[in-house]
Structure 1
Amino acid sequence: MNRILTVREILTKEMRSQYYTINSFSKASGINRGVLSATINADPPRPISVNQLDRMGETLGKPEGWLYEQFIEEAFLQDTKVNWRRARPLLLRCIQLNRIELIDKIMDWIMKDVSYLSQIFELAEQLTADSQLRGALPLYRNIIQYERSYQSEQLAVSQYRIFQAAAGEMIGQSFKAALIFQPYCAHLPEHLMLDALLKLSNIYFTVKDWEAMSDCADKLMELSHSIYAREYKHQSAKHRTLHVNTSRPLVVYYGQSYLIKFTAAEFTQNYQEANDYLSKFSDLSWFEGLDEEGRNEVAKFTMYADINSLNIELLQGNHNVLPEYKELLFKYPGEILASVNVILYAANLHGFNVGDILETFHEHIYSFDSVNLIARFETVEHNYKDLSIGVSRYINLYYELAVYHFDQKLYNHDLEAILNILEHVVQNYSYEHILNSHTLLQKIREMNSNLFTPYK
């Protein structure tokens, strides 16, 4: 049986096959000649760092990650004592190369001494802070595996990071991620708990779990009120610029808690209760500590209040507000599709005609450009609306639009656009809505088979 060559033996063999001497290889790789000689020839040899291995592999024309498996086996796994100073750069390099199997091997070795769990967590958080959440996920998963305290903040944050990564455009996937994460939410530090409650409430909105959404809003309200009171209540007028350690202005969480409660009341048809909550976020200009970003958020809440007050009127059957609503949408064109969703729902519920609205905003509604708006949710910074919120609203919009056309007997060419958009959005973002939409789609297709052209 042939003996397996060591990493140094393989390196020496490759250098010779390419006619390198210690001198010439030192110049080609940029590795100090003395260091290189001690690494290759000394007895005992100088330990190889992952950086040196990368530079030697690159000089020899080898792919990234060359010899990593054997290097890890020789340099780390056979050593009973963890050397974090050497292990950390190797772990980072394996993350950069997405070598999950090697990351798990290294983690199993490091976790023979669980005292290193805090260093692993700090590294994962640093990667996340550097916008490398995806790369940090294997570390968070290992923290979850090895952390023994259910109430550990490290465990809660690790669960939250995995939830952040999993919650996205697919509504069913986001909901499953929420169910796994929610038991850990209470153990998060405050600044992360605010974002977590907001994200959870958004996901519960997409699956129409109004009770769970309202419960998240209650917790968000209590926490944001508590932080506000602590940070600003006892501050003098000269010292009201204190910055709270949150990813968004505190007023966002404060206002959102009432907006979410409003939404839950609206969708459960408790319109008086909804109006009570609406008054709580319609004017937040009194909120202390507002910077420019905060003032912009306050203006958004005023806009949401203006639009939602008309929504309540429509949902109660008052179609006389439609002209006022149309003028408001000219002022806020970014809200056209979300608002038309409510307008159509009210029209279908009460049987009134909204043809003027559909005609006025025709190019926004009956166009595949509207589908592209969904993707924009991913790139808007500090937007409370998760991508899943946009997906859910637009699926509902085109469902309601199809119902409206069917009920109003509008069997025209716009149906083609409706069906194409609805089918595209459902198939690409929410398989869970396919069965709900299937019957309606089939009925309209039968009546309009000569018009329907599948989107490609």
Structure 2
Amino acid sequence: MYNTTTILTEITKHMKDNNLILSDLAREAEMNPGTMSSIINGNRTLSVDQLDRITKAMGHPVGYYYERYVSEYLTEANPNWRRMSPFIHNCAKLNKLDCIHDVVNLLMDKLGYSESLFELAEELFHEKMYQAAAILYENVALSEKKQYSERLAMCQYRLFHTRQGDNQEKNYEAAVQFEIYVERLDEIDQLEALKDLANTYRSLRKWDKVELFAKALGDKAKIQYKLEQQRHHVKKENSKKPSFPLFAYWAFSHLLRAEVCEAHKDYEKALQHTYKYGDLSWVKDSDETTLKWKRQYEEWSKANTYVNKLHAGEIGVLADYVTFFSSRKEELLSGLDNILEAANRYHLNVDNILNQFQTEILVLLHKPECVGTYNQQLVIERYVHFTHELAVYYFNKNNFVDGFTFLLNCLGKSTLINNKSYIIKCVKLYEFYQECAASETKTAYRNLINEVDNDET
């Protein structure tokens, strides 16, 4: 049987069952008795705020009647945005995404609601209610898919953000889908978008893509910086401000391009890019933000100079590099990872360094954290790379207990983030050394492989 009771009949029944008169319910709901009377008698439309007050007075959780509210109060021929907007906002707070879908479906058949939905989506996005915002962005994008609009591009940019997570395959799909919309964004937004795209591909080690978007970022940042210098004395108060100083985007593009060169083992060219972003003496501004970013890039340049030389085989820089990152928490994971990679490549013994950071490594095993300026995807990717290098290092030393410990840790995290490349590397490494594995290690490995198989089905 279908439930034919309405919200108003439920309220009336509650009053009867609890021997309440209208003024009693109004007092409990902290509402004016006259307003309550008009609502009960059907002479006044129930707002979502009034519904929440009455719902709590009846002893139900807020949102208890939201599904009915959609069908009873929002399915009008001419939708009332003043009622719909706060309702969607409340649904977002309560994570009642089905209700948001229902309301948006009602609106998308009507003309003229794209702008209002987009503005509300922006509110939700900045309040970090990403799932709810994504529903609105998706529908606005759908309604404007045939238009070459900046709003459509911004919807796609926001959706790219909301789709970023631990699953690296999905991160890749989201990046590819967003790429074609970058040029439609405002010039300042393009800088952020190119930075974000490059960072996503960086976490996926898609180096050709990183080079493509890093170069575009550098070119556009250089143009914007020159324009800013030309209008320095006639700045418009309402002009859009970038999240970082314009020179910082240019510097970041060279940092990324240095990483690409390093990945391709072109260490000489990597150093050229590294020296470029390390020398920002041409930036003449002296405000606090400018000085902060100049110091930051100078420090990164120093660190990455060590890294490039180390990977190129200049082992003499090892001690100085350890000294450099040992006092910088945000550089610890990348520092240890770089040392392990060099150790495996050049057959170095770095046991003393691993012993020095034994406590920190154990902490990383349990919870690799996002620190400093590195986003979560980059931290997790670096962590997976590090645990794989650590496993290889211990296997090379015939330390099979520690080798399998880090191999299983790498495989587990790779499975969690759906990193197929590292899953394959872990499987190959395990198969090479499986005869040295203890029975409990073999069981743990089979359990992880079963998880991989389940994810594929």
The letter for the 1-side match of 2:57 is T
- Trace 1:30-69 onto structure 2 (pairs within 5 A): 30-41=30-41, 45-69=43-67
Residue in 2 that maps onto 1:434 = 423
Contact 2:279 2:298 in 1 (8 A): yes
Amino acid at match of 2:427: H
| TM-score between both structures, scaled by the size of structure 2 | 0.87
Residue matched to 1:402: 391
Structure 2 CA distance for partners of 1:232 and 1:11, relative to 1, 3 Å? same
Q: Distance in 2 between matches of 1:447 and 1:357?
A: 26
> SS at 1:375's partner residue?
coil
Cross-structure match for 1:76: 74
Distance change >3 Å, CA 6–CA 417, structure 1 → 2: closer
Greater RCO structure (CA 8 Å; 6+ sep): 1
How far residue 180 of structure 1 moved from its aligned partner, in angstroms, is 1.6
Deviation at 1:259, TM superposition (A): 0.3
List gaps (5 residues or longer) in structure 2: 449-457
Q: Which string of whole-angstrom CA distances, capped at 9 and with x for unpartnered residues, describes residues 26-64 of structure 1?
A: 22212211111122226xx21111111221121112232
Cα distance in 1 between the residues matched to 2:429 and 2:327: 34
Q: After superposition, give the CA deviation of every residue in 1:275-310 in whole Å (9 maximum; x if it has no partner).
A: 221111112254244543442332222222112222
Residues 81, 314 of structure 1: CA spacing in aligned structure 2 closer, same or farther, 3 A cutoff? Answer: same
- Hey, what does 2:455 align to over in structure 1? none
Kindly indicate whether the alpha-carbon contact (under 8 Å) linking 1:285 and 1:295 is maintained by their aligned counterparts in 2. Answer: no
> Which AA in structure 1 matches 2:390?
L
Paired residue type of 2:170: Q
Measure how far apart 1:331 and its partner are.
Answer: 4.5
- The DSSP-based 3-state class of the residue aligned with 1:317 is coil
SS in 2 for 1:115: coil
Q: Please name the residue that 1:130 is paired with.
A: 127
Equivalents in 1 of 2:118, 2:440: separation in Å?
57
Structure-to-structure mapping, 1:34-433, within 5 angstroms: 34-41=34-41, 45-77=43-75, 79-235=76-232, 245-289=241-285, 291-365=287-361, 367=362, 369-371=363-365, 374-377=368-371, 380=372, 383=373, 385-407=374-396, 409-411=397-399, 414-415=402-403, 417-432=405-420, 433=422
Specify whether residues 3 and 203 from structure 1 end up closer, same or farther in structure 2 by C-alpha distance, changes over 3 A only. closer
Q: Normalising by the residue count of structure 1, what TM-score does the alignment of the two structures yield? A: 0.88
AA partner of residue 39 (structure 1):
I
Q: Which residue of 2 aligns with 1:16?
A: 16
| 1:290/1:114 CA distance change after superposition, 3 Å | farther
Displacement of 1:316 after TM fit? Answer: 2.2
Superimposed CA distance per residue, residues 75-124 of structure 1 (whole angstroms, 9 cap, x where no aligned partner): 221x2112211221222222222222221221122222231110110111
Give, as a single letter, the amino acid of the residue that structure 2 aligns with 1:415: G
Q: Report the CA distance between 1:263 and its aligned residue.
A: 0.8
After TM superposition, the structure 1 stretch with the greater mean CA deviation from structure 2, 285-294 or 388-397, is 285-294
| Number of residues of Structure 1 aligned to a counterpart in Structure 2 | 444
Rounded Cα–Cα distance in structure 2 between residues aligned with 1:362 and 1:86: 58
Is 2:395–2:403's contact at 8 Å kept on the other side of the alignment?
Answer: no
Deviates more, 1:4-13 or 1:137-146: 4-13
| Distance (Å, rounded) in 2 between the aligned partners of 1:273 and 1:400 | 25
Partner amino acid for 1:111? M
CA distance in 2, matches of 1:426, 1:33: 60
In structure 2, C-alpha distance between the alignment counterparts of 1:242 and 1:257, rounded to whole Å: 27
The amino acid that maps onto 1:58 is K
Aligned with 1:273: secondary structure?
helix
Letter in 2 for 1:312: N
CA shift in 2, pair 1:373/1:56, >3 Å: closer
Query: Which amino acid is 2:395 matched to?
Result: F
Q: Secondary structure at the match of 2:429?
A: helix
